[in-house]
Every structure is written in C-alpha cells, then in structure tokens.
Structure 1
Amino acid sequence: MNKKRIAIISVAALIAIYFIYNYFSPDSEGDVYLTTEVKKGDFLSEVITSGEAQSTSSKKIKGPDNLRKFRLNNVKIQDLVAEGTIVKKGDYVGRLDPSSVNEQILDAELNLENQLSKYTQQQLDTTLTLKQERNSIKDLRFSMEETRLELKQSIYEPPATIKKLEINLEKAERDLKEKLENYKIKKRQANAKMVEVGTQVSKIRKKLNDLIKLQKSFTIFSDGNGMITYDKNWDGSKKKVGSDISPWNPTIASLPDLTKMESKTYANEVDIRKIKKDLPVKIGFDAFPDIEMDGTVTSVANVGETKRGSDIKVFQVLIKLNGTNDNIRPGMTTSNKILTFERKDVLSIPLEAIFSKDSITYVYKKSGFSIEKKQVIIGDSNNDAVIITEGLTEGEVVYLNKPDGYEKEQIAKLN
C-alpha cells in the first residue's frame, strides 16, 4: 500500500469522525444531546400496579357464634396452626383462651349447688308440713268416729246430752271439710314452691351445660379440606396468636378455593380513569418471577378510599386470574399490567421529545447537518411514549432535550 492511498484513507476517516461527532453533538463543546428515532409498531398503554392474591371463594373457620349470649365481647386466640398448613376435615386448627368461660362455669357450679340445697330444703319443708296436715286430718276423723259411737250409745241419755253430741259431730264434720280444703290449698302451694325452686335449678343446670359446651367449642377444628389462611382484622392486619375475636366476627381463618383466585389491587386517581371492566391483564408474582398468568378486570370501585399511612385516594380493582397454578397462594404479592389500550402500526416517540408553546406541540428534529423545530400532532400516550399522528415519519431522528441556540427558531408548522 503506497503513501498516497494511506493518506486518502486517513483523510476519509477524519471526515467520517467529524460527521459522526456533528451528528450526535451538533452544538457547543461540552454539551451532550440525546436522540432517538421515530419508531413504528404496536403501541401499548399499561397501568402497572402492585396487588395481593386472594381467593374469590373460601370457607370460613369460625369460633363460637354465641359469645354475645354469655357477654363475652373479646376472646383472645391462644393457639393457631401456621398459615399455609394443609388440613383435612376434623383436623385441629386452633384454640381460644377459655379463662373467661372457666370463670362463668365456676360461678354456675356454685349457683347450682346453692339452688340444689334450696330445693332439698324446700322438699323437706313441704314433706313435713303436709305430713302434719295429714296427721291433723286423721286425728279429726278419729275424734268424729268417737263422737258417732258416743251418740249411738246415748239413746237412753237425756235429750240435752244427745243434742250436745249431735252438735259436736256436726262441728267435727265441718272442721274436717275445712281441713281437707286447706290441705288441698297447702298442697298446691307446696307444689308451686317446688316448681319455682326446681325451675331455678333447671335454669342454672342448663346454663352450666351450655357453658361446658361453649368451653369445648373453644377448641376449633376444620370443617373442610384445604390450606389455612389467617383472617384479617378491620385494619387489614392478620389475626394471629394473641389477637382478639369479637362476637360480631368470630372468624379466625379460612379455607380458600385455590382454583378460584383473583388479584386485589389499587389504582390512583389518574390511572383509574383508564381502567375499565373486562380489560386484559398480565399478572406476575414476586415469589415466582417465572410465572405470568392472564387475567381480566372484573370490578372497578366507583368510590375512592384512603389507605393507612397515606392521604392519597386510591380505588380498588379486582382482577380475575384466568387459569390455575399450584404454586399460587393467597397473600402473595402480585404485579399487574393492565392493558388499557393497544394501537397497531403507529408512529411513536418518547414523551421527553415532546415540547409545546402557545398550544403548539413540536419536536427538535435532525435535518441533515442542522436541527429543525417541527410541529407535530400527537395522539394517545402511555407512561413512556406518545403516538405521533402527523408531522414525522418512521426513522427520523428527534432530540430528547432542547439543543442550545434553537429555542428562538421558528416552528415549522404543518400545512
């Protein structure tokens, strides 16, 4: 290779380096400008949210449902199997603290013992009283029988003596009749008192039996097959050992149907306008990065809510998982890509390349060795890019930041 050819190649290389430098750094020394090409293809708009997997159908495992009857407002969970435990029907799930029930059982036992003593005393008193009344009636009948014998033997006595005996007999008959009536009344009174005391005994005994039954129900067993998931309190925290259950919500855990799963997520006020029912979703799982499932938006809340620790209003969105996976469990963190719209074969550029002035939208476009401020018409956008409906063609180069010295240049408007 001769020197002339080497010189020509060197000059060409220098010229190429110069053009490349001017292409990417057209302005003052030290400034760096980023550029990008106008791309053509499918344009997607997605709302990405973080959520939690849950079952749409589950069987609740509850504690006793009659706590209010015994004025037990809050009962602590004393023991609970680990969340995620696979159980079968009849398996042990947990136990509630029985101390409050034990106190009531002790009181009921003492009351029952006291009432049984009263019942026995009343029974003895009744027996003694009625026995005395029966003896009195017997004595009266013996006295009447003696008077009849005397009257029978007095046929030869003076009329006055006979008359006196007749009067005594008549009086005895009257007393006997009155005694018999009084005996019936006293017997009814005694029966009524026995019933009253006996009712108290039965009432306390029934309460004691109910308390013992309640005490047994404090040990909780599963009424179905499945995987244990802890129930949540009103503030969203999970119930665990030491948590209280109330009479209005005695649920401690649930058995979710793992074939019917959904992702519960929340969207902010800006994104919620884009989310509609039946939109397709791609659902990922933090615990299993390789798993991605299709889903469908099934519910979009109309009313916002404030999450704890934040003043921002968010709206609940429920996403049904289309299909099943044995690895997915309730409570897993989900990543939800909600496809709000899709456009086919459109031009797009990054949002950073769009500028505006006096309601005119424009870009800084590479034009040979120069830069042109060009008006563009934009369409829909997503979080990163925007659709160009007019003003640019595929492959053209635009700047992502403003080149110095071109701010006062005229905007090339569209015809």
Structure 2
Amino acid sequence: MNKKKLLLFGIPVVLILVGYTLFGNTADEDVAITTKVVKGDFVNEVIISGEAQSTSLKKINAPEEIRKFKINVKIQDLIPEGSFVKEGDYVGRLDPSEVNEQILDAQLNLETAQSKYTQEQLDTTLTLKQERTIIKDLLFDIQENKLELKQSIYEPPATIKKLEINIERLERDLKEKTEDYKIKEQKAMAKMVEVGTEVSKIRKMLDELKDLQKSFTIHSDANGMVTYAKNWDGSKRKVGTSISSWDPAIATLPDLTKMESKTYANEVDIRKIKKDLPVIIGFDAFPDITLKGTITNVANVGEEKRGSDIKLFQVLVNFDENNENVRPGMTTSNRILIHKEEDVLMIPLDAVFSKDSISFVYTKSGLSIDKKEIEMGESNLDVVVIKKGLNENEVVYLSKPEGMEEKSILLLN
C-alpha cells in the first residue's frame, strides 16, 4: 500500500521537475536571445568629447620691447590658473637674466663712448688752438711787414718790392690758414656730433632696457579669470616656458559669456556632422549640468593628432546657454543630434541579418520560427528603424536560431 502511494505522489513530482527543466530553461533562453519590436522616438546621435574654451579672450602679453632687443625670456612666476584678477593685479614675472646682461653690456658701452667723447673733445680743442695760434702769428707777421714797408719809403726799390711780395705771401697764407681752420672746425664739430650721438644712442638704449626690466613684472590690464596661454602644440605655458618675441602671450582673460567646445570627429562621424545641428553639451566636472549648443564650424580638412595616424576633423560647438560653473579647459561631452523620428518601430541591430542583399529577421510565430524580409530606415549604433515587415510587440531573435539555414525567407509584398 505504501509503495502504491509513493508511486502516485512520486511520478507527478518527477514530471514537474522534468517539465521545469525543459520549459523553464527554454523560457530563460528565449529571454536572453529574443526581444520585442518597440515603438517610440528614434534618435541618431554622435557623441564626441571636447574642451570648453572662450571665443573671445584678452591676452596678457610679455612686453613688446623683447622683440626690439631680440630677447627670448622664460616665465619665472605665474599665479594659479583660474584665479580672478582685477585691473592692475599681479599676474606673473619673467626671468630678467638676459635683459640684465644686456643692461651690463650697455653700461660698459656707454662708459667707452663717453670716454671717447671726452678724448675727442680734448683733441679738437688742442688742434683748433694750434690752428688759431698759427693764424695769430701770420697776422702779427703781416702787421710787422706792413710797418717795415711804411718805414722803407727811402729804401731802394728792390727792398720795397721784396717787402710788398712778402706781405702778399703772408696774406695769402693767412687766407689759406683761415679757410683751413674753418674746415677743421667743421670737421671737428661733425666728429663731436658723431661721438655725442653714439653716447646719446647708448644712453637711450640703456634707459629702455631698464624700463623693460621693470616691465618684466606682469600686471593685468583688465578684470577677469586667468587662464594660461597655449603653445603651438596645445600645451599650456607655465613656469619655465620660453616666451617668443613673436608670440608673447603668457596668459589670457577669457570672456566667460562667450564659450564654445572645441572637439574632433573621426572620418566616419564627420560625414554626418553638419553646421547648425543642435548639440546637448555635458561636463565631466558637473554631471548634472547640460547646456544647449549649435555647431558653428566643421573643418573640411582633417589633421593628424600626435601619436596617431587617424585623421580627425575639428568641430566647433557654440554654447547657446551660459552657466557660471563652466570654465575654459573643462572636458565636455557633446551629443550631436543627427536625425530624429517620432513614433516609429525599432529593433536592435543585432536582430538584423542579410542574404543576397535581402535584410531579414527571425521572428517567433507560436511554437515555430519564421524568416521575414524587412525594409529598414535610419539606424544608429544600437537600433534600426523598421519601415515594413514587422509589427509592434512582435518577437525577434537577437542571434540566429539553429537549423534555420534552409528555411525560406518570407518576402515583402
């Protein structure tokens, strides 16, 4: 009797366990490899990261005179990036080593030029004094001979003639010496002007170098937030960076009300990105903040980034909104809306298969599986729009079921 009861209760339990094993596992498998056709809004987006920057900024430059004196200087000190300054506030300081050397050289050159000027002045004074003495001697000789001629009215004619000739020669010598003196005086004055000009030139240069030395302490000429200027390779200038006379910016004061995101798209995505497309801008530093933006420029020519052979195209996204928390240099996430359709049927891309240029899906039809041709619309990285061939909530497979290779495709009418 007990054995019969055991059999009566045991057999149903075994059947339940077997059924659970077979059908329960099948259900789990179906959930894992199938999905339903859904209706909703299709959105095709390209998401690329970028960097926030201001479209309008004021440069804080090293003194322009470093170009005149061909000085390449280094940044010796800079206040922290992101500091807010007012007009006249201290920003940084340049290394004055090279300008100090030029000041020392100018001082030595000035001393040499002043010494030369003094020597030239003494030489000129002495030379002209000698020339004036000669002229005075000639005047004295002429007066003496004229007096002697006056007293020789009773002398023989030959003696008188000789005195007249001598006076004539002395007067001619006096005329020549007077003309020579004027020439030598003009020459001496020109030389003095030349040497004096050299002294003035060196003294002026020395004064300019000293003024330049003072201007190596940099102050802001406006109110704003300090951001470091960038080198040609995109790296930021900081303490120790050399400043070229042709690009003297050491920092900038960006206008935080005029911002954009500078980003780069690859060759695949750039074909979809057009000017004036709307963008939703997010920020890594502030996950809760999103701003609306618009694409303002798409590069026509790609460029290679350092360390990569992939061509990237620059894309600029203007901020249509402002937020006081956003700062230049922040990493942005740019969601570019390429295409949008409302109330359409969609399935995952993994559910789409193809054969002989026919796109189809595997659908669940009761206890059987059908292969149905579909007509597809737009797609993104995840889903594709279905124009024909499927209905809402219809079940499709995400992977190819076994044993379906020979089954015919149900073509669209």
TM-score when normalising by structure 1 = 0.91
8 A contact 1:33–1:399 mirrored in 2:
no
Q: For 1:45 and 1:157, locate their aligned partners in 2 and report how far apart those are by CA, in whole Å.
A: 133
Q: In the alignment, what sits opposite 1:170?
A: 168
Query: What SS is found at the alignment partner of 2:289?
Result: strand
- Matches of 2:41 and 2:200 in 1, distance apart? 80
Q: In structure 2, how many angstroms separate the alpha carbons of the residues matched to 1:52 and 1:306?
A: 18
Aligned residues: 398
Instruction: Tell me the alpha carbon deviations over residues 339-382 of structure 1, each in whole angstroms, 9 at most, x when there is no partner.
Output: 00101111001111111112111111121122222111111101
Pick from 195, 198, 201 the counterpart of residue 200 of structure 1: 198
Question: Does 1:303 pair with 2:301?
Answer: yes
3-state secondary structure, aligned to 1:340: strand
How far apart, CA to CA, are the structure 2 residues paired with 1:233 and 1:285? 25
What is residue 59 of structure 1 aligned with on the other side?
A: 58
Aligned counterparts of 2:166 and 2:262: Cα–Cα separation in 1:
100
> Please, which of 93, 96, 103 is the counterpart of residue 94 of structure 2?
96
CA distance in 2, matches of 1:94, 1:408: 78
Alignment partner of 1:337 out of 335, 338, 357:
335
Residues 108-119 of structure 1: pairs in structure 2 closer than 5 A: 108-119=106-117
How far apart in 2 are the matches of 1:66 and 1:357? 73
What is the RMSD computed on CA atoms of the aligned residues?
2.1
Q: Which residue of 1 aligns with 2:135?
A: 137
SS of equivalent to 1:290? coil
Question: What is the Cα deviation at residue 127 of structure 1?
Answer: 0.7
Q: 1:152-183, CA deviations, whole angstroms, 9 ceiling, x for partnerless residues?
A: 23333343433333222222212211111111
After superposition, what is the alpha-carbon deviation per residue over 1:29-67, rounded to whole angstroms, capped at 9, x for unaligned?
Answer: xxx742211111110000001110000111111113343
**Residue type matched to 2:91 in 1?**
V
Aligned match of 2:48: 49
1:136 Cα deviation from its structure 2 partner: 1.7
Structure 2 residue matching 1:141: 3-state secondary structure? helix
The residue correspondences of 1:9-408 to structure 2 (distance < 5 A) are 22-25=26-29, 33-72=32-71, 74-408=72-406
Give the 3-state SS of the residue equivalent to 1:289 in structure 2. Answer: coil
Structure 1 unaligned spans of 5+: 1-9, 27-31
Tell me the amino acid that sits aligned with residue 52 of structure 1: E
After superposing the two structures, state which structure 1 stretch, 181-190 or 62-71, moved more. 62-71
**Range 104-113 or range 154-163, more displaced:** 154-163
Q: Distance in 2 between matches of 1:23 and 1:388?
A: 26
Counterpart Cα distance in 2 of 1:322 and 1:355: 42
Alpha-carbon distance in structure 2 between the residues aligned to 1:196 and 1:207: 17
Q: Deviations over 1:6-42 (max 9, x none)?
A: xxxx9xx99997877655546xxxxx74221111111
Secondary structure at the counterpart of residue 236 of structure 2: coil
Q: Which secondary structure does the structure 1 equivalent of 2:121 belong to?
A: helix
3-state SS, counterpart of residue 363 of structure 1: strand
Q: What is the CA distance between 1:96 and its match in structure 2?
A: 1.5
Q: Which residue of 2 aligns with 1:409?
A: 407
What SS is found at the alignment partner of 2:346? strand
What's 2:6 paired with? none
Q: Would the aligned equivalents of 1:377 and 1:389 in 2 still touch at CA under 8 Å?
A: yes
Distance change (3 Å), C-alpha of 1:81 and 1:35? same
Query: In the alignment, residue 320 of structure 2 is paired with which amino acid?
Result: N
Contact 1:266 1:317 (C-alpha < 8 Å) held by counterparts: yes
Alpha-carbon distance between aligned partners in 2 of 1:20 and 1:385, rounded to the nearest angstrom: 29
Q: What is the SS of the residue equivalent to 1:288? A: coil
The answer on whether the counterparts of 1:285 and 1:332 sit within 8 Å (CA) in structure 2 is: yes
| Deviation sequence 1:221-261 (CA, Å, 0-9, x none) | 21211111111111111110011111221111111110000
TM-aligned CA deviation for residue 192 of structure 1: 1.8
Residues 59, 254 of structure 1: 8 Å contact kept: yes
Distance in 2, matches of 1:25 and 1:104, equals 83
- Mapped contact 1:23–1:369 kept (Cα < 8 A): no
Distance in 1 between residues matched to 2:69 and 2:360, nearest whole Å: 75
Separation of aligned partners in 1, 2:34 and 2:407: 19
Give, as a single letter, the amino acid of the residue that structure 1 aligns with 2:389: G
Which sits farther off after the overlay, 155-164 or 298-307? Answer: 155-164
C-alpha separation in 2, matches of 1:306 and 1:212: 45
Q: Deviations over 1:241-298 (max 9, x none)?
A: 0111112211111111100000111111111111111111000011111110000011
Q: CA deviation at 1:206?
A: 2.6
Contact residue 22 and residue 369 of structure 1 kept, 8 A: no
SS in 2 for 1:186: helix
For residues 78-103 of structure 1, what are the alpha-carbon distances to aligned partners after superposition, in whole Å with 9 as ceiling and x for unaligned?
11111111112222211221111111
Instruction: Point out 4+ residue stretches in structure 1 off by more than 6 angstroms.
Output: 13-20
Q: How far apart are 1:388 and its partner, in Å? A: 0.4
State the 1:300 CA deviation: 0.7
Q: How many angstroms apart in 1 are the aligned matches of 2:176 and 2:25?
A: 136
CA deviation after TM superposition for structure 1 residue 306, in Å: 1.2
Look up the equivalent residue of 2:299 and give its one-letter code. Answer: A
Instruction: Supply the AA of the counterpart residue of 1:63.
Output: A
2 CA distance for matches of 1:372 and 1:239? Answer: 65
Q: Percent identity?
A: 69
